[in-house]
A and B are shown apart, each in its own frame.
Chain A
């Protein structure tokens, strides 16, 4: 038992941290606290350290296969930890909504959601998967609604909870069907066997419908068509910190979980079964299914790309704009997944991380400028590039990365996607992706245009005067990362390796 506990040290640390936060909140009922914020960040630091250990420790099954603690899990858990840190940090930097800054339950919720994310990406047991999803979801619903005394927050929370509960319900329904398919077992490997059996009997539909329903949950978290409706409204309704967390943290773990599901459920499709000629039939059946199912995903991906990028045109509210563009980027991810190949999954993982970095930066930069301008509306940002060079310059860099311009990580990531798409026999998707990045340039650079190509208004008064050294430092760090990750190997090599492990099981 104890060695099992050792295996889940990161989770334990996180749990301990958030219990302490609760206690503090009970004992000293101050609504707001710097110290707790710093403490929470510290906890995350420790967790990150432990996760590094996990990354090197190699794969372990904990609690009879309820948890699967391997490199893949470690990578994505690290990622969401980072996102949580970012969110906490921005939350502490809130000076425009003092009633919300550093509120203890906000910090608690961030940690709690992160714990849910850990479970979500760290299991290959469908019930645990659902549990993790719900944990992450419930905390996010609450987070979306942290603005008391504010209608937008309430509405955002309402929409998020209804929509989220619905899609997770649909997912659960799918899980229940898969449970049956897997011979009354939640363990993904068993389900995979059931799938192979069904495919061998030529009953693809029995596999298809549950898988689609299962997909619903992921589509919701990744804000993909047709489950994307919540994203713009919720992003707009909450604070930048939380929007950033939703756009980066929960997306990353959701993608991680999705990759894991596919890698295990469709292992046969992905790399077939070597050697044994008796199982050749299974392999062929599986790959046929994979091909047609991949086509479905490809269409879905194409629609999402188009939708996100087109709807973002002419959008003036920054967070809505980022929401739409994130729909488009999710489409890119799904395009890679739709290849139903090891390379495709790896590419998706890599791009997700690269996107996460640039996206965090973008949210932080927007956050910074918006605090000065006192508005997230583009029309109030005229010429601010000349007043706030650092934040604006950083924004240019991050937008360049999101567009996929060199010399930024985004370019390498886009290159990785294009390469796998072209190699995977989807040249049209590749072309579409390439052309859509031109479209994305248009709306990203509308912001740049507003910032730099105009002169600031004479009567401009910043909403807050005080400098934001920490934010500046953060932007510099993330910016440096965006440039450094142009050497994509640093991200891609581990992810590719981890994904390969998954598939080999």
Chain B
């Protein structure tokens, strides 16, 4: 139960970066070092507080898994009415209360997010040095962290949505950062930023509708109240009403957008246009994790049918993205698709009925994916922005620290036993297996199959990337004269490397799949690891194949995969073009028809007036004739009326 100073502390976690952002916007540019120390320090503070809270929670011992500290649940006057604050009125959304939320799932996530964000800040102080919009960059970073932290501590879906949208803005600004560069702006960054925002916006709009339905259905959007209300409703009318299922699908759509699930995954690879630390932020700590977090939190309202969809979509994405990752030559693109694939795991975990498992993987993945991206950033930084795998190589000797940390992280994501990634992914596979044993047709088997297929692929493409980058001989001068990165950049790498190893231990709510499912999963995981790792070593380590030849080896499928299966082109054809065309039609319709009618009426009146005035000929006797005619007509009309 909440102690007196608990909520202030919890509130401090998001407010610190917020304050930093404010100062950064107002006075940042006049500060020494462009004020980068301001948000970095703030994040350090936030991280400290988060850890403090985490330890408190841990202090609860076995409680730690189940406890909930929430203003909503415990009242305590900490929640506040948001739309209308006057107590007199209790109608509708106006009665909406917002509050803080902290439980066994939030605790490690909050610490992880704060920590990773801090490390990214720290890394950026080195990576972004000399950038023309250094201050603005850090401002964006701070706001980004604020939004994510605030989302984690809010106790209702509406606020989750709000901060999630703010994250959208931040990612937009940060991805587009280079397009505003004072020296050489990159238009492609702008394009990528717009694409990212719009693609996720699709999901966001759907999510908003979902929330509207939920609100009108339950009159609340708070996690705990929903968790109570939904079962009552279902008991009340035996089964899930269709509107609730609709809401579930819409909410999931939101997650699809934010967590870059198929078919809305297209924005994430383009988001690589942003500076690499930003990618780390988006992929590890903030943006994409939000989607998973949302579905995990909304789990109670998700009908079984919806869950099935979620599981399949997630699993498919995991496999689909893995295949693409296998064929990419750009270091960051590989990581991007690996993220999509891993997110697929998490999402389908929710679908398989284990939100805890999903968040567990969010947690571990956050650690090692941050490590990977920062490592990639280090490599890119050291190789003068050379990020094509076929021109890297042989960095092991040149950048030992980066090498070590990258190795650990790669191993973790590939699922090497006793590393953090192993546990979380294992758990998800286990649930998939469970579902399969429970045995309900396609919906049950598909996830297991797809996830099972994705597992070896993960190991394969990750080690492919790793080996191509680090082992063998450098394939370009950039790679040849690469140097190890300075401390502010290498320190995060080390820490995250350690995190990749021990991260799993920091998680409270260990998922508990059934025994045999667990065994099955373990076997599956190990086999696939062996397969993937083996293949990678065989192919790239010993036979020294380089990226270019991979494609040739894999044949037509690879070309398709390289072409991203044409999804982007398809979207451009079916969405962007039609919208443009219709817009042009609409505007000409507006000008020609709508406005045309208005002007037409005016012109008609004027023309009529001219016709009438023609009769005003100036000849008195014509006037007389016209008068007689009028008088006659009048008389006849009158006679007709009267008699």
Contact = CB atoms under 8 A, between A and B. Distances in A.
Interface of A: 158-159, 162-163, 166, 170, 204-205, 208-209, 212, 216, 225-227, 229-230, 232-233, 289, 292-293, 295-296, 299-300, 307, 310-315, 439, 442
Given A204-B642, A204-B643, A229-B626, A311 B609 contact: yes
Nearest to A439: B605
B608 A310 contact: yes
B331 to A, nearest CB: 65
Contacts of B635: 209, 212
B610 A212 contact: no
Interface stretch (B167-175, B311-319, B576-584, B615-623): B615-623
Interface of B: 602, 605-606, 608-610, 612-613, 616, 618, 620, 623-624, 626-627, 629-631, 633-635, 637-639, 641-643
Contact of A212 (B605, B629, B638): B638
Nearest to B602: A442
Given A233-B618, A439-B605, A208 B612 contact: no
A163 B623 contact: yes
Nearest to B631: A226
B616 A229 contact: yes
B607 to A, nearest CB: 9
B608 A158 contact: no
A295 B639 CA distance: 12
Contact of B626 (A212, A226, A310, A311): A226
A165 to B, nearest CB: 11
Between A208, A229, A289, the greatest number of chain B beta carbons within 10 A of the residue's beta carbon is seen for: A229
Nearest to B642: A204
Nearest to A288: B642
Contact of B634 (A158, A170, A230, A300): A300
Contact of A311 (B612, B627, B629): B612
A230 B637 contact: no
B interface, by DSSP: helix, strand, loop or mixed?
helix
A310 B605 contact: yes
Given A212-B634, A226-B629, A205 B616 contact: no
Contacts of B623: 159, 163, 229-230
Given A208-B642, A299-B637, 15 more contacts: A163-B623, A212-B634, A212-B635, A226-B626, A226-B627, A229-B616, A293-B641, A293-B642, A307-B612, A310-B605, A310-B609, A313-B606, A314-B610, A315-B613, A442-B605
15 contacts: A162-B620, A162-B624, A170-B631, A205-B639, A226-B631, A226-B634, A230-B623, A232-B616, A292-B642, A296-B634, A296-B641, A300-B634, A310-B609, A442-B602, A442-B605
Contacts of A233: 616, 618
Contact of A208 (B630, B633, B638): B638
Nearest to A230: B623
B638 to A, nearest CB: 5
A134 to B, nearest CB: 19
B638 A229 contact: no
Given A226-B626, A232-B616, A307-B612, A313 B605 contact: yes
A212 B641 CA distance: 13
Contact of A158 (B606, B609, B620, B638): B620
B642 A314 contact: no
Identify which of A208, A289, A442 gathers the most chain B CB atoms within 10 Å of its CB. A208
Contacts of A158: 620
Contacts, number: 77
Given A204-B642, A227-B627, A292-B642, A314 B609 contact: yes
B297 to A, nearest CB: 58
B637 to A, nearest CB: 6
Given A226-B627, A227-B627, A229-B627, A314 B606 contact: yes
Contacts of B613: 311, 315
Given A229-B616, A232-B616, A313 B627 contact: no
Nearest to B621: A162
Q: Identify which of B618, B620, B626 gathers the most chain A CB atoms within 10 Å of its CB.
A: B620
A310 B607 CA distance: 9
Contacts of A232: 616
Given A208-B638, A296-B641, A226 B630 contact: yes
Contacts of A216: 631
A226 B616 CA distance: 12
Contacts of A226: 626-627, 629-631, 633-634
B355 to A, nearest CB: 64
A292 to B, nearest CB: 4
Contacts of A300: 634
Nearest to B612: A311
B240 to A, nearest CB: 55
B638 A293 contact: yes
Nearest to A232: B616
A225 B630 contact: yes
A159 B620 contact: yes
B604 to A, nearest CB: 10
- Counting chain A CB atoms within 10 Å of each CB, which of B616, B624, B626 scores highest? B616
Interface centre among A208, A232, A233, A310 (most CB of B within 10 A): A310
Contacts of A225: 630
B643 A205 contact: yes
A166 B626 CA distance: 13
B390 to A, nearest CB: 69
A208 B626 contact: no
Contacts of B606: 313-314
| Highest count of chain A CB atoms <10 Å: which of B610, B613, B626 | B613
Nearest to A296: B638
Contacts of B605: 310, 313, 439, 442
B320 to A, nearest CB: 63
A324 to B, nearest CB: 8
A216 B630 CA distance: 11
Nearest to B632: A226
Nearest to A309: B609
B620 A163 contact: yes
Contacts of A166: 624, 627
Contacts of A292: 641-642
A225 B630 CA distance: 8
A426 to B, nearest CB: 15
Nearest to A155: B618
A286 to B, nearest CB: 12
Contacts of B631: 170, 212, 216, 226
Chain A CB within 10 Å, residue with most, of B630, B634, B638: B638
Q: Taking each of B606, B627, B633, B635, which has the highest tally of chain A beta carbons within 10 Å of its own beta carbon? A: B627
Nearest to B615: A229
A167 B610 CA distance: 27
A439 B606 CA distance: 10
A311 B630 contact: no
A314 B643 CA distance: 41
Top 4 A-B residue pairs of the complex, sorted by shortest distance between their CB atoms: A226-B630, A229-B623, A313-B609, A310-B609
Nearest to A311: B612
Select the residue from A293, A300, A311 with max chain B CB neighbours within 10 A: A311
A216 B628 CA distance: 11
A205 B624 contact: no
Among B608, B612, B626, B637, max chain A CB count under 10 A is at B612
Contacts of A170: 631
B643 A310 contact: no
A289 B609 CA distance: 34
B628 to A, nearest CB: 8
B602 to A, nearest CB: 8
B373 to A, nearest CB: 63
A391 B331 CA distance: 80
Contacts of B641: 292-293, 295-296
B527 to A, nearest CB: 83
Contacts of B602: 442
A225 B616 CA distance: 13
A170 B631 CA distance: 11
Contacts of B637: 296, 299
A209 B637 CA distance: 12
